[in-house]
Structure formats: structure tokens, C-alpha cells
Amino acid sequence: MGSVAVHTQGVAATRSGQGRRVRRVVTGLLVAGVATAALAWSAAAQAQGKPKAGGTLIVGQYQEPTVYDPNRQYSWETYRVDKHIYESLLAEDLSKPYKEGPPPLVPALAEQWEVSADARTFTFKLRQGVKFHDGTDFDAEAVRFNVRRFTDPAFEFYDARAAATMKPVYGKLEALKVLDAHTVQYVFREPFIDFPRLLPQGNYVSGIFSPAALKKYGQDGLALHPTGTGPFKFVERVHGEKTVLARNDAWWGGKAPLERVIFRPIPDEATRLSALRSGEIDILTRVPADAADALEQAGYTVHDSTTAGQLFLGWNFRNPFIAKRAVREAVAAAIDREGLARSIFKGRAQASYNILNIGSTGYDPAQKDVAYDPARARQLLKDAGYAEGEVQFTIITDVANQPSIEWIQRDLGKVGIKVNVISQEWLTYSSKLANLAPDTGLFTMEWGFVTPYWLKIAYDGYVVTRGGGEKLVDPALGPAIAKAAAQTDERAAIAAWKEANAIALRDVAFLPLVTFRLHFASARNVQGFNVPAQNFYDLSKVWLQP
């Protein structure tokens, strides 16, 4: 079988007889990619002064993280913590400025990797000499243990909860083979060209944990004692107060400058902002739009960047009103997304009309769903036989997005749709998403990927499992998504994803709202902090200027 060698810039296809030569070149490209990233960081560090070792960085989070288990966790604020504890086989170069687009893939726990020509077989050569935080060895058997946990029901340490979470990525895994102590091979039943890119993503992330830790602490205990290979070790978590990480001096990537990192969940926006201004925190997550200018004038760095995520509304297709396409289109037409971005976000967000978010390789600004047209919204409802005020439902949201939902409540009221808003703290809110009440029509989410495979995840998770599927949306959508996911060529895949997305947009299968441009602010003494075109960041090169 010919092979495809994957490098930091994408996928290079080779045929039989050429594979060995190209593999050598690609290995060089991988090393060059890592060296380039290191040099880029070194140059930036020199421009800012020599990095100073030591100190504690405090990050103010806008949500309480969920669980520090790489196979069970969800939410960006969780992954922003545990990506510094756990590592995947591959990483993304998060030192790249957001304007350079999706960060390239780089080696992490795997030094190099190859992809077969049919995009079904992925072979990873593992980094040698790596230790977990508990001192045990990282090797091919550790990878197999991790994968069996969520793919093999016969495995002693199989976890159904982890399996359900990881299914979108590993549901079609045929085999995980250990070729030797430092080589593993994943074989899928169908082509899966996006697999390498999905390895370091925030949800369904394949962070590798210590098998010894899971055996010692149990399935639920792993989240309380997270044990990975990353640049920082877990110290403690006090729910509602803080998570403390300490530098891993034995990290294969070299010692991080920071001695400790503390993540503090501060859901209240005003309190979080005050904490930055008073020096209680060094990095502020989710900058209040109306405070950005004042922070900049006061000398703080406000990191203006477009991430790979967006705020969108998910439909509850089991709601009798939402099940009607005319109602979904009317809702979309009634919401002034440009006004939302301009008013609630003070122009520091961009209206979204496409579930394939800005920052995705599949994003096409020409693809849009429904234009703002309240008159058309009224007419759609009238044509569907609904009287003024007859259409009514609840929108549930987390506290952080309550202002946006109140804006939407007002817009929908203008066209005769009655909306009740229920706002809850994140952990309470997210725990109720699995079983929505029948009167719930919509719910808020913040998500998105750098790969258009996100469309499949969104379709499976926010259409099919929410009562949609072929009966309530265009039956051509599912097959179109399957066709896109099965492509073996990147260009052909992107074209196929756009075709599938056109069906989703036409059928109003999703309701995107805005893409954030403004998410982080840092104190004057924080050096080396970069916000890439991704939903998370890397603190392993950040340092504090005395």
C-alpha cells in the first residue's frame, strides 16, 4: 500500500516506491517545523527581554471547568486547563498569530506520523523517554490502554461515559495496533482524513493519561487526580475557587518559565474585570466589550483575535414549533445579528450566518443562512397558520450569554414570538442539555473547530440527537456529510463539506449568532501570551516580567 506522509502544512500523497524517500523529507519538515516554532518564540522573547523563570500566573476564567478527564471533559474553559496537564500525540503550534489562520499541526507525544493513501491507517512513531507525572513510562502500551478505555467493552477498564464522549472521533475505529514499544497504528473502517487534526482539539481530545493513575484512582477519580505528561502538573482543585498547577521540571519540551499557574473561575463579569484591575489575576478571559478601550488606555494588552469558535443557538427539534422549518426560518430572519454584534459586543464580534465558523478551513463568507428580515419572519409565521403570540417557547442559556439571549428575546417578540429565558450558572446549565424539557425551543452553545469536520459533529450532536434527522431536515444532509467525511483528498473534502453545508444552511439546521473577536486581556507584566486562531492557548512559554 502506498502511503501519505502528514507534515505541519497538510497532507502530502505518495505512491508505492516513493514513500520511503518522502517520509525522510517529511521527518525533516517536522523537525524544521518544531525548530521554526521555537525560533519564532525565541525571537519574540528576545524582543520582550530574556524570559524570567519563576512566578505564579493567575488566569480569571468566566466559567467553572467541568472535569479534568480527557475522555469526559467538555467546555473550552476546562480544556484551557487540562491541555497543560495532558498531551495528545499531535499538537497545534499555538505560537502562530491568529491572522496566519488555523495553527499548523506539530509533533507532540508522537515525533512523526504517516497516513495511508486511503486515509484509513495512521501510524505514529512515539517520542521516547517521556514520563507521566507519576513517574511511569509513556509508551505504546499506554496509548493502547487509553484507547481501549473508550473503544473496547471487553476491557477491564472500559468506561461507557468516556465511550459516549469519544464516539464522534473513534466510533469507526477498526483496530489500534501496537507495532513495537514506540509505534502505534490506528485503522479506521472508512477514510478519516481529519483524524490527525482532531487529536488536539478541545472536545473529544485524545489527551493521554497515566494508566497507573486510572488503576489507582478509578474512573471517577482520574478527574480528581489528573495525571498526564504535559508542561504542568496538577496540584489541587477547590471547586468554585481555583485549580492550581505546578511546573513539570521533567517535561520533554523543556522547563516552562512559570513556576505555577492558578485558574480562578469568576463567572460575574464585573468581578472578573475588577480582579484584573486590582492585580488579583493576570489574564482576563472574555473581556467585557465595553471595557476593552479603557483597559487598553490603562496599559493592559487586549488580544484582539478571531478564534475558531462562535456563539450559536441549538434547536430542540422535539419542540412542536421548532420541528417546523417555517418557524426555524422565521426565528432566524427575526434576529438582528449585526445589531447583536454591534450593540451587545460593541462591534468586537462579527455576525455569523454559517455554522462552519470563521477560522475553519471550510469557511466561505459567501455561504450564509437567513438574512435579517422581520417582515418576512412575520409572513412565514402567518403562512404557516400561526396567530400573533401563538408560537412560544423557552430559551435556556448560561449566565455569560444572558445579555445576548435577552436581545434575541426582544427581537423575537417584535415578530410575535413569545420567549421565556432561563439563565443558569454553567455547570448547572450544561448538566441539563442532555434532556431538554419539551417547552425548550433553543439553547446556547459556544463551539467550533478549525476543521470542517465540525459540521458532522454539529449535525450528529445538535440535529440528530435533538430529535432532528431525516424527518425534520433535508434527508440529503446526512449522506452529504458522510460523503464529505469520507474524502481522501483535502481539496475534495473541503468542496464536499461546502456542498453539505449549503444543504444545512438552506434548511436552517443551525442558528449561528456571532464570532468573537475579543476574548482575552493580560496585565503589563505578562510576556509571551499569544491568542491564535483557536479556542485555547499555550502557557508553557509565558513568563512574568518582574
Which regions of the chain are under pLDDT 70?
1-49, 203-205, 518
140-177 per-position pLDDT tens digit: 999 999 999 999 999 999 999 999 999 999 999 999 99
Compute the Cα dihedral for 392, 398, 404, 407 and give only its sign: positive
Closest CA to 423 of 447, 446, 401, 445: 401
Residue 14: predicted pLDDT: 32
**Residue 363 near residue 354, CB atoms below 8 Å:** yes
Residue 155: predicted pLDDT: 98
Closest CA to 109 of 212, 225, 186, 200: 200
Residue 203: predicted pLDDT: 67
The neighbouring-strand residues paired with 444 are: 313
Residue 130: predicted pLDDT: 98
Residue 48: predicted pLDDT: 54
The neighbouring-strand residues paired with 418 are: 392
Residue 469: predicted pLDDT: 80
Closest CA to 8 of 95, 105, 100, 81: 105
Cα(229)–Cα(89) distance, integer angstroms? 11
Residue 465: predicted pLDDT: 87
Q: Could you tell me the three cell numbers for 103?
A: 495553527
Residue 289: predicted pLDDT: 86
Cα(124)–Cα(257) distance, integer angstroms? 29
Q: Could you tell me the three cell numbers for 49?
A: 527581554
Domains of the chain and any CATH numbers? 3-264+519-544 (3.40.190.10), 310-516 (3.10.105.10)
**Residue 30 near residue 106, CB atoms below 8 Å:** yes
The alpha carbon of residue 217 and the mean position of all alpha carbons in its chain are separated, in whole angstroms, by 27
Residue 50: predicted pLDDT: 83
The conformational region for residue 129 under phi > 0 = left, psi -120 to 50 = alpha, else beta, is left
Give the DSSP H or E segment for 296.
helix 292-297
Strands 56-61 and 260-265: parallel
The predicted model scores a pTM of: 0.88
Cα(68)–Cα(49) distance, integer angstroms? 34
Residue 347: predicted pLDDT: 86
The neighbouring-strand residues paired with 94 are: none
Reduced 3-state DSSP string for 313-375:
EEECCCCCCCCCHHHHHHHHHHCCHHHHHHHCCCCCEEECCCCCCCCCCCCCCCCCCCCCCHH
- Mapped onto helix, strand or coil, the DSSP state of residue 264 is strand
Residue 100: predicted pLDDT: 87
Strands 56-61 and 283-285: parallel
**Radius of gyration, CA atoms only, the chain:** 23
Residue 204: predicted pLDDT: 66
Closest CA to 421 of 468, 412, 516: 412
Cα(264)–Cα(80) distance, integer angstroms? 12
Report the side by side order of strands in the sheet with 440-447: 349-351, 511-516, 310-315, 440-447, 392-398, 418-424
Residue 154: predicted pLDDT: 98
**Residue 289 near residue 514, CB atoms below 8 Å:** no
**Residue 332 near residue 511, CB atoms below 8 Å:** yes
Q: Could you tell me the three cell numbers for 356?
A: 462552519
Alpha helices in 87-210 (DSSP H): 140-151, 160-170, 195-198
Burial 262-277 (b: 16+ CB within 10 A, else e): bbbbbbebeebbebbe
Strands 310-315 and 90-92: unpaired
The neighbouring-strand residues paired with 393 are: 419
